[in-house]
């Protein structure tokens, strides 16, 4: 018996990294997975991997910033699966800028649109279908950067702090409404995924990091330990499952002591 047997789970930005690990772990625990992303090739291969290991997954293209795509997706899930039990609002990017005074308004809006508009739209359109099928669990990916300052990542930190309080506020709305929907945020520390490479830290060429993720963890994390996507996915499984049924509006920090 899996921890989320028979549940329908939607995970955004799940072609790779933390989202892909959440898809794999939730599938291992018995959920049917709808994984979405803008990287169709990697998304298809993550779904194929889950299916080849005996899980149930399908990949669908979705840009989380587009409201029409959320509406079409949620209608499709409702029609084909009869409801939704788990939503992992995972898609996110990190725009690095040495100083806020050098950040373009375009980059600021880009940062905000994926990390905050995307989560807002997921909450707005998934809560009705979830409550209609008896409730569910929403897990929003924040960060340790949503708990403490992140110089050179000020706009990113703003979005992740926003995700934390958006989650708490909506959790209370749902609890008071008695619609059976729980909302929690997860705060990863330094996890070994491609997001760090996309940030281009210390690089002359965009998208080609000179700084290794392990080096960053070595300097910042107590004991120097670098996390792996499954470390976060295991926390997401817990929040998705009945084991966390009295948890809503909580922040689950998974950072090996980074934010202590
Ligand atoms: P990742 O490896 O870069 O994966 C993120 C995925 O989201 C990518 O497939 C990316 O596609 C996709 N994506 C980007 N924009 C999108 C959009 N508009 N609509 C749908 N999908 C989109 O990142 P990750 O490290 O797994 O991060 C997952 C979440 O955890 C993010 O919210 C991140 O902020 C958070 N987080 C990560 C860490 C960490 O250390 N890794 C720490 C704290 C918090 P493209 O590659 O095509 O852009």
Sign of CA dihedral 45, 111, 158, 211: positive
Taking the model in full, what pTM does it have?
Answer: 0.98
Pairing type for strands 181-188 and 251-254 reads parallel
Task: Specify whether the CB–CB gap between 224 and 217 falls below 8 A.
Answer: yes
Q: Provide mean pLDDT across the span 155-173.
A: 98
Which residues lie closer than 8 Å to 88 by C-beta, 6 or more apart?
9, 10, 11, 12, 14, 19, 22, 26, 138, 139, 141, 236, 240
Q: What is the pLDDT of residues 90-146, one digit of tens each?
A: 999 999 999 999 999 999 999 999 999 999 999 999 999 999 999 999 999 999 999
- Binned at pLDDT 50, 70 and 90, residue 206 comes out as low
Q: Which atom of ligand 1 is nearest to the CA of 229?
A: 26
195 CA from centroid of ligand 1 (Å)? 6
Task: Tell me if residue 156 is catalytic.
Answer: yes
Which residues lie closer than 8 Å to 201 by C-beta, 6 or more apart?
96, 209, 210, 211, 216
Distance CA 79, CA 41 (A): 26
Closest residue to atom 44 of ligand 1, CA basis: 143
Distance CA 78, CA 206 (A): 40
> Average per-residue pLDDT in the chain?
96
Q: Provide mean pLDDT across the span 210-221.
A: 91
178 CA from centroid of ligand 1 (Å)? 32
Choose the residue to mutate in 195, 199, 206 for probing ligand 1, maximizing ligand atoms within 8 Å of C-beta: 195
Say what the pLDDT of residue 202 is. Answer: 66
Active-site annotation holder among 156, 188, 189, 217: 156
Q: Does domain 8-189+228-252 have CATH number 3.40.50.720?
A: yes
Say what the pLDDT of residue 210 is. Answer: 74
pLDDT above 90 covers a percentage of the chain that reads 94
Residues composing the chain: 260
Distance CA 34, CA 14 (A): 9
Say what the pLDDT of residue 185 is. Answer: 99
Q: What is the pLDDT of residues 171-200, one digit of tens each?
A: 999 999 999 999 999 999 999 999 999 998
- Domain ranges in the chain are 8-189+228-252, 190-226
The reply to whether ligand 1 has any atom less than 6 angstroms from the CB of 188 is yes
Closest residue to atom 19 of ligand 1, CA basis: 63
Burial of 102 (0-12, 13-18, 19+ CB in 10 A): exposed
176 CA from centroid of ligand 1 (Å)? 32
Say what the pLDDT of residue 207 is. Answer: 66
Closest residue to atom 47 of ligand 1, CA basis: 39
């Amino acid at each position: 018996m899996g921890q989320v047997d028979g549940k329908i789970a939607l995970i955004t930005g799940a072609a790779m990294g933390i989202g892909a690990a959440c898809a794999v772990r939730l599938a291992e625990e018995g959920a049917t997975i709808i994984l979405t992303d803008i990287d169709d090739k990697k998304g298809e291969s993550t779904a194929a991997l889950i299916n080849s290991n005996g899980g149930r997954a399908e990949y669908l293209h979705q840009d989380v910033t587009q409201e029409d795509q959320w509406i079409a997706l949620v209608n499709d899930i409702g029609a084909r699966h009869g409801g939704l039990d788990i939503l992992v609002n995972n898609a996110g990017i990190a725009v690095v800028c040495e100083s806020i005074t050098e950040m373009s308004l375009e980059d600021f809006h880009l940062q905000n649109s994926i990390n905050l508009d995307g989560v807002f739209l997921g909450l707005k359109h998934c809560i009705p279908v979830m409550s209609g099928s008896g409730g569910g669990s929403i897990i929003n990916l924040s960060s340790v950067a949503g708990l403490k300052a992140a110089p050179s990542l000020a706009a990113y930190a703003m979005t992740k702090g926003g995700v934390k309080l958006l989650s708490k506020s909506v959790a209370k709305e749902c609890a008071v409404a008695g619609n059976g929907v729980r909302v929690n945020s997860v705060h990863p520390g330094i996890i070994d995924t491609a997001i760090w490479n996309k940030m281009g830290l210390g690089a002359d060429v965009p998208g080609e990091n000179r700084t290794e993720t392990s080096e960053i963890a070595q300097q910042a994390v107590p004991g120097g330990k670098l996390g792996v996507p499954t470390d976060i996915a295991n926390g997401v499984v817990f929040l998705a499952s009945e084991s966390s049924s009295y948890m809503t509006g909580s922040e689950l920090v998974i950072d090996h002591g980074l934010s202590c």
